[in-house]
Chains A and B, each alone.
Chain A
Amino acid sequence: MLANMRPVDEREFARLLAEATATTTPVALAGAGTKANIGRPINATTQLSTRALRGITLYEPSEMVMSARTGTALAQIEDALSARRQMLAFEPIELAPLVGVQAGQGTIGGVFATNLSGARRIRVGAARDHLLGVRAVSGGGEVFKSGGRVMKNVTGLDLCRGLAGSWGTLAVMCEVTFKVQPMPEETATLILLGLPDEIAVEVLCEAMTTPYEVSGAVHLQHSLVARLWYDGLREQGQAVTALRLENFAKSVAYRKARLMEHLKAYGEIHELDSENSLAFWGELRQLSVLQEGEAPLWRISTAPTAGPRVVAAISAYMRCRAFYDWSGGLVWAEVLPTTDAGAADIRRVIATHGGHATLIRAEPQVRAAVEVFQPLEAGPDRLSRRLKATFDPAGILNPGRMYAGF
């Protein structure tokens, strides 16, 4: 019978999933399992992992495209890219340390299955926007593909986007093909200190409406700055508002000067050089300031200008520490532990201000009791259930990981 297995190819996945479907055996599907403690707990005795699906299968730097089997370590992908001065432009964030797992072990499959993107998302799009092609096995055990290895492809329904962000509940992605981008020659960071949230987000949005292609726009509340690894900023002891510019060195210099001029009314502007910039944005990619402790952590996507209002509204109910990314549109909110991790109040706030919230970190019993992902409206909920059923008729793949009952 099934056990903890690491199938070596899509055919083996197909056989095992067909068998699990025939016997209605729930399967916990994972890559390296670094995000196993995120989402609703799964009740499954059988574990399938993509870890044995390893290796980069195609890399054409001059066509900005790479393919890899999904169990390939993200670190290996990024090493190969960086050897050719390229990168995953959407800057996948590292969630593992938030839930007590060592950083740097995740797989490329896990990146696309969770569609989690970093600071550069506001400039270049999300993980899902970079996915060009996928080979996968449905919950029912069918091997299928969608998309391909070329940049533009509108042939048939777009299942790449359908599968991205589905947390392994529809199909096992076995091989992914994705867009890559040249690394910038130079990175610079502009910093403003001590701004209240509302003004900080105004600065971030103002910067985003300039032609200087700001590729990172974040604000860290004072209480979180104290946790930064980069001591140059930690020791300032004030809220940090940061803007990133990336380009050829001459362009960065020019754009930096223009942006500083543009924002001078907001106060003194400090700069980080390329090396310090890489360190600073690198630690944000690991969510360094949120790794401490086990307090419930919410990830909230909303309109940028609504970000501070959401945080203020949550703060009226509970203590809340906030890290704003995406020029204010992505709020990481750390709250005090309660029986529902603040879910009832936070959902109410979101209903008022718009957007959606995901509970990224909480005790398993809390994640089993509350909606971890944003509850869906009736129409999308019904469509989602039916989509789940077409891919996974017996409901065996990561059952209940995203939503109870599918």
Chain B
Amino acid sequence: MGLVVLPEPDRAIVARRDAIVSDLRRLVGAHAVIADEDGRRAYETDALTAYRALPLAVVLPGSTEEVSRALRYCHQHGIKVVARGAGTSLSGGALPSEDAVVIGVSRMSRVLEVDYVNRVARVEVGITNLGISEAVKDRGFFYAPDPSSQLACTLAGNIGMNSGGAHCLKYGVTTNNVLGLKTVLVDGEVIEIGGTHLDPPGYDLLGLLIGSEGQLGIATEATVRILRSAEGARPMLLGFDSSEAAGQCVSAIIAAGIVPVAIEFMDKPAIQVCEDFAKAGYPLDVAALLIVEVEGSDEEIADLLSVISSIAKPFSPKALRISQSADQSAAIWKGRKAAFGAIGRISDYYCMDGVIPLGKLGEVLVSISQICDRHNLRVANIFHAGDGNLHPLVLYDANDAAEADRAEQAGQEILKLCVASGGCLTGEHGVGIEKRDLMPVQFTETDLAVQMRIKTVFDPKWLLNPSKVFPFDGRKAAQEAA
């Protein structure tokens, strides 16, 4: 792999490494700076492991003030900065470069305040996604966005990528669940936006910062919405002979006025691998499987699942199984949430994150299969059917450089297909390094120019998370225009 070109590091900066490290140690304390090669090695990549670079140094601040000091210093000296949470990005969002300092927020992981009456929690952003829900679950609350990596990924990364998850059909994604941010701007200035109240005044800076992939600033604290958990939740499994039938069934459920909390789709290869791993009781003789989950009291759940069963009937489900116990429910979700890991046990894979209109599911899956056939690759598809977010996992052998390149090539063709079908390049993983050069597929030159000028407003020297998100063309113009 490695179709994306990375710029040559700034040798003048790299040559000053020792001095920079010693300055940073003075500013944030020696304990918070990693400079030795072994230590830096742990930060050379993220979950898009095809790309690697040893960072200049790694700073792990313990407070907003320390983030501010480090950023101010880097800004003054023209040093690039890569913000990092847990390094679980699938798009290379946390990939460092040899001339950049990594600022990792993993040490800043405290829950600062939980206000159950006003239904908010104030946390440091290095906390894991699941850590927020864990902190409030004794009182029956949870934090809604639930990316598959929630055990490891940080809220910081979720904010950077505007992460979603399986349950965002009902509860929304990160931007719908963060009410306030404390953010350090590139020059070290600390700004606070929003808080316990809704809809902050003025332009929606919160909305611009969330999902900005570390391009605009580094968030350090957040006020997030916490919600009271439903009385209960239960999934059902619906297996179909074709992907089209599964897609039509999803449309029919929504047309009937039911918005389940999650509707997940798996194709045959994905079902097989996940079943082998989780023993979830998935039917193996179907072409497509839906996991449909609803919430409420036992009786409400029973009613809704029975209505959904009747809605599914005309689409001739080959399997229709309602979870009968908490253990079964857990197993069903274990299979789905472990899908990437389970597939990773049998093969290297390249995970795509396109979005398509639900109505195009059938034809898009046929085209994906043709693309992969053409490149002589296998593919498994996982799909958040409710919101159109498609994760084709293109299987390849990382030890075979030619096959790896073919996988990346196939991935790019799949994403172009998603855009052509009315969708987009990425639904929740972000653009990062991976999709940077595909941006012109989705956006015009002007669309990108407008975005790049906003980048320049926040980061005039383009020091934050360099080489990501925006294609190289047009960067200079945006810098000059803003």
Q: Which residues of A contact B228 (CB under 8 A)?
A: 208-211
Residues 162-199 of chain B, each 1 if its beta carbon lies under 8 Å from chain A, else 0: 10100011001101100000000100011111011111
Q: Given A303-B118, A379-B189, are A152 and B207 neighbors across the interface (CB < 8 Å)?
A: no
Chain A contacts with B in 101-153, Cβ cutoff 8 A: 115, 117, 121-122, 125-126, 128-129, 138, 142-146, 148-153
Complex alpha-carbon distance, A143 and B444, angstroms: 10
Complex alpha-carbon distance, A208 and B119, angstroms: 8
Q: Which residues of A contact B208 (CB under 8 A)?
A: 157-159, 161-162
B175's partner among A161, A181, A380, A384 (CB-CB below 8 A) is A161
**Taking the complex as formed, is B80 at the interface, i.e. its CB lies under 8 A from any CB of chain A?**
no
Q: Contact at A380–B193, with CB atoms within 8 Å?
A: yes
CB distance from B295 to the nearest CB of A (A): 8
Complex alpha-carbon distance, A251 and B384, angstroms: 26
**Taking the complex as formed, is A291 at the interface, i.e. its CB lies under 8 A from any CB of chain B?**
no
Q: Which residues of B contact A128 (CB under 8 A)?
A: 199, 204, 207
Q: Which residues of B contact A304 (CB under 8 A)?
A: 117-118
Q: Contact at A329–B198, with CB atoms within 8 Å?
A: yes
CB distance from B457 to the nearest CB of A (A): 4
Complex alpha-carbon distance, A379 and B217, angstroms: 13
Complex alpha-carbon distance, A152 and B120, angstroms: 24
**Taking the complex as formed, is A376 at the interface, i.e. its CB lies under 8 A from any CB of chain B?**
yes
Residues 411-434 of chain B, each 1 if its beta carbon lies under 8 Å from chain A, else 0: 000000000001111111111000
**Taking the complex as formed, is B78 at the interface, i.e. its CB lies under 8 A from any CB of chain A?**
no
- Of A157, A160, A303, A356, the most chain B CB neighbours within 10 A belong to A157
A248's partner among B120, B303, B482 (CB-CB below 8 A) is B303
When A and B form their complex, what is the total count of cross-chain residue pairs whose Cβ atoms lie within 8 Å?
Answer: 259
Q: Which residues of A contact B175 (CB under 8 A)?
A: 129, 158, 161
Q: Given A182-B259, A210-B228, are A121 and B198 neighbors across the interface (CB < 8 Å)?
A: yes
Q: Which residues of A contact B384 (CB under 8 A)?
A: 152
**Taking the complex as formed, is B450 at the interface, i.e. its CB lies under 8 A from any CB of chain A?**
yes
Q: Contact at A62–B252, with CB atoms within 8 Å?
A: yes
A326: nearest chain-B partner, CB-CB? B198
Q: Contact at A154–B162, with CB atoms within 8 Å?
A: yes
Complex alpha-carbon distance, A306 and B164, angstroms: 31
Complex alpha-carbon distance, A393 and B270, angstroms: 51
**Taking the complex as formed, is B356 at the interface, i.e. its CB lies under 8 A from any CB of chain A?**
yes
Q: Contact at A387–B457, with CB atoms within 8 Å?
A: yes
Complex alpha-carbon distance, A183 and B255, angstroms: 11
Complex alpha-carbon distance, A350 and B212, angstroms: 30
Q: Contact at B296–A156, with CB atoms within 8 Å?
A: no
**Taking the complex as formed, is B30 at the interface, i.e. its CB lies under 8 A from any CB of chain A?**
no
Chain B contacts with A in 428-474, Cβ cutoff 8 A: 428-431, 435, 439, 442-444, 446-451, 453-458, 469
CB distance from B71 to the nearest CB of A (A): 14
A358: nearest chain-B partner, CB-CB? B201
A154's partner among B202, B252, B388, B427 (CB-CB below 8 A) is B427
Q: Which residues of B contact A152 (CB under 8 A)?
A: 164, 168, 173, 355, 384, 387-389, 427-428
B168: nearest chain-A partner, CB-CB? A152
Q: Contact at A251–B300, with CB atoms within 8 Å?
A: yes
CB distance from B84 to the nearest CB of A (A): 18
B356: nearest chain-A partner, CB-CB? A150
Q: Contact at A150–B424, with CB atoms within 8 Å?
A: yes
B443: nearest chain-A partner, CB-CB? A156
**Taking the complex as formed, is B229 at the interface, i.e. its CB lies under 8 A from any CB of chain A?**
yes
Complex alpha-carbon distance, A132 and B326, angstroms: 35
Complex alpha-carbon distance, A115 and B207, angstroms: 13
**Taking the complex as formed, is B358 at the interface, i.e. its CB lies under 8 A from any CB of chain A?**
yes
A138's partner among B117, B297, B448, B450 (CB-CB below 8 A) is B450
A305's partner among B117, B173, B255, B429 (CB-CB below 8 A) is B117
B173: nearest chain-A partner, CB-CB? A152
Q: Given A152-B427, A209-B116, are A144 and B204 neighbors across the interface (CB < 8 Å)?
A: no
A124: nearest chain-B partner, CB-CB? B172
Q: Contact at A250–B303, with CB atoms within 8 Å?
A: yes
Chain A contacts with B in 294-309, Cβ cutoff 8 A: 301-306
**Taking the complex as formed, is A276 at the interface, i.e. its CB lies under 8 A from any CB of chain B?**
no
| Total residues of chain B contacting the partner, CB 8 A | 98
A162's partner among B207, B304, B422, B428 (CB-CB below 8 A) is B207
Q: Contact at B300–A125, with CB atoms within 8 Å?
A: no
Residues 358-395 of chain B, each 1 if its beta carbon lies under 8 Å from chain A, else 0: 11000000000000000000000000101111000000
Q: Contact at B198–A151, with CB atoms within 8 Å?
A: no
Q: Which residues of B contact A305 (CB under 8 A)?
A: 117-118
**Taking the complex as formed, is A205 at the interface, i.e. its CB lies under 8 A from any CB of chain B?**
yes
- Of B189, B424, B430, B448, the most chain A CB neighbours within 10 A belong to B424
B358: nearest chain-A partner, CB-CB? A63
CB distance from A172 to the nearest CB of B (A): 13
Q: Contact at A166–B203, with CB atoms within 8 Å?
A: yes
Q: Contact at A181–B259, with CB atoms within 8 Å?
A: yes
Q: Which residues of A contact B451 (CB under 8 A)?
A: 146, 156-157, 159
Complex alpha-carbon distance, A160 and B427, angstroms: 15
Q: Given A354-B195, A383-B457, are A254 and B387 neighbors across the interface (CB < 8 Å)?
A: no
Q: Which residues of A contact B185 (CB under 8 A)?
A: 379
Q: Which residues of B contact A62 (CB under 8 A)?
A: 250-252, 254-255, 358-359
Q: Which residues of A contact B230 (CB under 8 A)?
A: 211
**Taking the complex as formed, is A289 at the interface, i.e. its CB lies under 8 A from any CB of chain B?**
no
B303: nearest chain-A partner, CB-CB? A250
Complex alpha-carbon distance, A301 and B197, angstroms: 6
Q: Which residues of B contact A388 (CB under 8 A)?
A: 203
**Taking the complex as formed, is A264 at the interface, i.e. its CB lies under 8 A from any CB of chain B?**
no
Q: Contact at B189–A302, with CB atoms within 8 Å?
A: no
Q: Which residues of A contact B297 (CB under 8 A)?
A: 254
Complex alpha-carbon distance, A389 and B444, angstroms: 21
A182: nearest chain-B partner, CB-CB? B257
**Taking the complex as formed, is A220 at the interface, i.e. its CB lies under 8 A from any CB of chain B?**
no
Q: Contact at A158–B162, with CB atoms within 8 Å?
A: yes
Q: Contact at B458–A383, with CB atoms within 8 Å?
A: yes
Q: Contact at A386–B457, with CB atoms within 8 Å?
A: yes
Complex alpha-carbon distance, A305 and B116, angstroms: 11
A residues engaging B (CB < 8 A)? 60-65, 85, 115, 117, 121-122, 125-126, 128-129, 138, 142-146, 148-162, 164-166, 170, 181-183, 185, 205, 208-211, 248, 250-251, 254, 301-306, 326, 329-330, 354-356, 358, 373-374, 376-377, 379-381, 383-384, 386-391, 402-403
Since A150-B424, A162-B207, A305-B118 are in contact, a sample of 17 more A-B pairs with Cβ atoms closer than 8 Å, ordered by chain A residue number, is A63-B357, A65-B357, A125-B172, A149-B422, A151-B386, A154-B426, A154-B429, A155-B426, A156-B442, A156-B443, A157-B212, A158-B207, A162-B454, A183-B257, A251-B300, A383-B205, A390-B481
Q: 8 smallest A-B Cβ distances: which pairs? A: A161-B207, A379-B191, A62-B251, A182-B257, A151-B387, A374-B201, A152-B427, A303-B196
